Amino acid sequence: MKLPEGIVIKEVGPRDGLQNEPELIGTQDKIEWINHLSSTGLSYIEITSFVHPKWIPQLADALEVAKGIHRNKDITYAALVPNQKGLERALSANIDEVSVFMSASETHNQKNINKSIKETYPVIEEVIKNAKRHHKSVRGYLSTVFGCPYEGKVSVKDVITISKTLFDMGIDELSIGDTIGVANPRQVERVLIEIREHFQQNHIALHFHDTRGTALANCLTAMQLGFDTFDSSLGGLGGCPYARGASGNLATDDLIYMLHGMGISTGVDEARLKEAAIYIQQKLQKSLSSHQMEIMNQGRGVG
């Protein structure tokens, strides 16, 4: 099978992973964990979210974390930004890239960010415009592309329309999300062929969840179509706290196991990645759910 020779992995554990953890992790522990991740060979780490602390108490220390970490110049450090206020905090920490986000389905967008899709556009547009003024790259997240927990099926036409709007506003990359982990390979193929027709393929990332066990099959399908950028979360940490039945970010370590086994390079050192997983597992005092960590945990007690 013809597949990309190398894959770019965008680690979202410190943001998308931790935001779903009820147990608060200390700021210094987060900083040390991100420093661990910076030593693994990853080229991209989404480190926190500048949403209002009342929405995600776990990430209330976004500024301290962003300022506290050791910055490796070969790594892009990104953060989620919901609006102009969040952007200002992100800029004050001199974050490399900011991520804006919205959903492909009206109801999920409303429940997740308390605005209609139409109301969301100007907020995002302002962030993009001002981020660009500060020479920051911008990533867009589009959620519920493969299914919505409230509406069910999501129209590919709507996905294309929203994606086009976001690219027209100036995003540099779009991350296509299977927020509730319902996608199957045939659906992925159908959606991505449409996406590929409308946008530059190397500006698209895939964000799969393994909620139903299909994430790696979906990655395989995307790779067969030539897509080469995937979001994942070390140890399978996290999910979306606002979507019913949403859990199970694709685990970075599981993805890398498959890719390296297939001779596809990621630049990531598996031994160091495992150390980083063990570190955060100890801090969380709970077993991480990736297959790789499950296998390791069976061999010895957690922590």
* Burial of residue 193 (number of CB atoms within 10 Å: 0-12, 13-18, 19+): exposed
Q: Would you count residue 256 as binding a copy of itself (CB under 8 A)?
A: no
Identified binder of a copy of itself from the candidate list 76, 258, 274, 302, rule CB under 8 A = 258
Question: Which residues on adjacent β-strands are paired with residue 265?
Answer: 6
Q: Tokens representing 119?
A: 């109301």
Q: Would you count residue 226 as binding a copy of itself (CB under 8 A)?
A: no
Closest CA to 141 of 104, 169, 110: 104
- What is the nearest approach in angstroms of a copy of itself to the Cβ of residue 198? 21
Q: Would you count residue 206 as binding a copy of itself (CB under 8 A)?
A: no
- What is the nearest approach in angstroms of a copy of itself to the Cβ of residue 114? 25
Q: Where are the beta strands (DSSP E) in 178-281?
A: 204-207, 229-232
Q: Would you count residue 295 as binding a copy of itself (CB under 8 A)?
A: yes
- What is the nearest approach in angstroms of a copy of itself to the Cβ of residue 165? 29
Question: Which segment (21-29, 86-94, 126-134, 258-266) binds a copy of itself by CB under 8 A?
Answer: 258-266
Instruction: Quote the radius of gyration of the chain (alpha carbons, Å).
Output: 18
- Contact between 252 and 233 under an 8 Å Cβ cutoff? The reply is yes
Q: DSSP characters for 21-82? A: -SSPPPHHHHHHHHHHHHTTT-SEEEEEE-S-TTT-GGGTTHHHHHHHS---TTSEEEEE--
* CB-side neighbour CA atoms (13 Å) of 225: 26
Identified binder of a copy of itself from the candidate list 22, 152, 263, 301, rule CB under 8 A = 263
Catalytically active residues are 240
Q: Would you count residue 285 as binding a copy of itself (CB under 8 A)?
A: no
Q: Is 98 left (phi over 0), alpha (psi -120 to 50) or beta?
A: beta
CB atoms within 10 A of CB 137: 16
Which residue, 85 or 262, has its beta carbon nearer to a copy of itself? 262
Which residue, 157 or 186, has its beta carbon nearer to a copy of itself? 186
* Burial of residue 122 (number of CB atoms within 10 Å: 0-12, 13-18, 19+): exposed
Q: Would you count residue 231 as binding a copy of itself (CB under 8 A)?
A: no
**DSSP conformational letter for 16:** I
Question: Which segment (95-103, 134-142, 196-204, 240-248) binds a copy of itself by CB under 8 A?
Answer: 240-248
Position 43: which residue type? S
Identified binder of a copy of itself from the candidate list 48, 163, 211, 281, rule CB under 8 A = 211
Identified binder of a copy of itself from the candidate list 24, 116, 155, 262, rule CB under 8 A = 262
- What is the nearest approach in angstroms of a copy of itself to the Cβ of residue 47? 25
Listed in sequence order, the residues at least 6 apart from 161 whose beta carbon sits closer than 8 Å to its beta carbon are: none
CA dihedral 219, 220, 226, 230 (to 10 degrees): 20
Identified binder of a copy of itself from the candidate list 31, 215, 277, 293, rule CB under 8 A = 215
Question: Which segment (117-125, 128-136, 158-166, 216-224) binds a copy of itself by CB under 8 A?
Answer: 216-224
x/- site string to a copy of itself, residues 148 to 187, per CB under 8 A? ----------------------------------x-xxxx
Binding site for a copy of itself (CB under 8 A): 1, 3, 182, 184-187, 189, 210-217, 219-221, 224, 245, 247-248, 251, 254, 257-258, 261-263, 290-292, 295, 298
